[in-house]
Structure 1
C-alpha cells in the first residue's frame, strides 16, 4: 500500500490525497473559505475542482484587498484616526496578508491534488 502524503502547507482540515473521503474534506474546507452563498451553487458542490478554482480566485481577491488597504490606509484614515489607530490598522492588514499567503498556498496545493498531482515523501 502506497503511503498517503500531504506536502508542507497542506491544510490540517483536509485529509491527504487518496485517503478515504479526502475530496469531501477538501470540499468542506474550501466552502468554509468562500462566501456563504457559494454553498447554494450545486455545480460548485458537485465539482470540487471547480470549487477549488473559485476558492483560489476568492483568496487572491482578498490578498489584493489587503495590498490596497496597506497602500491607502494612511491617507484614508488620516482625517478620522490618530497615528496609533492607523498603525494598528496597518499591522492588522499585514497580519491578514500573511494569513492569506498561507491559505493561498494551501488552496493551491488542494487544487493541484484535485487535478491529479500527488506528492512523494522526502527525507
Structure 2
C-alpha cells in the first residue's frame, strides 16, 4: 500500500503501484503520469499528447509493457537453444534467472497499468466480500 493512503479513504485494487497515490489524493494524477512515463522509453516524454491525456499515456504504457513481457517470455523460451554453445552454464542460468525476474516485474507493471488506467477513466474499485 502507498504511504499516501491516509490522505483519502479509498480501497485500492490488488496491484496498485506504491509510487502512485490513491485516486482522490492531492496530485494523484501527477504521480500516476510520472509512474507511467517511467515505464516507457524516455522519448515518449516529448509527445505533448501523452502529457495532456493521461488515459492515452496509460494505453501507450500498457502496449509497451505487454511488448516487453512478450519479449522476455520469448527470450526465456529460446536463450538455451540459441546461445547454448556461446555461454558457460553459470551464465546461462543467470540469463534464465534474469528473464524470470524481468517477466515477474513486467507482469506486476502490467497489472499496475491496468488498475491505474481504470482509475484515470474514473472507475472505482470496490473490494469483494
Please provide the CA RMSD for this pair: 1.5
Give the gaps of 5 or more residues in structure 2: 1-7
Question: 1:52 matched to which residue of 2?
Answer: 58
Cα distance between partner residues in 1 of 2:63 and 2:53:
16
Q: Comparing both chains, which one has the higher relative contact order based on Cα–Cα distances under 8 Å and sequence gaps of 6 or more?
A: 1
**1:62-101 map, 5 Å:** 62-101=68-107
Deviation at 1:107, TM superposition (A): 0.8
Cα distance between partner residues in 2 of 1:103 and 1:63:
10
Give the gaps of 5 or more residues in structure 1: none
Q: Normalising by structure 2, what TM-score? A: 0.88
Deviation at 1:19, TM superposition (A): 1.6
- 1:61 pairs with one of 67, 71, 76: 67
Question: 2:4 matched to which residue of 1?
Answer: none
**1:1-123 map, 5 Å:** 3-120=9-126
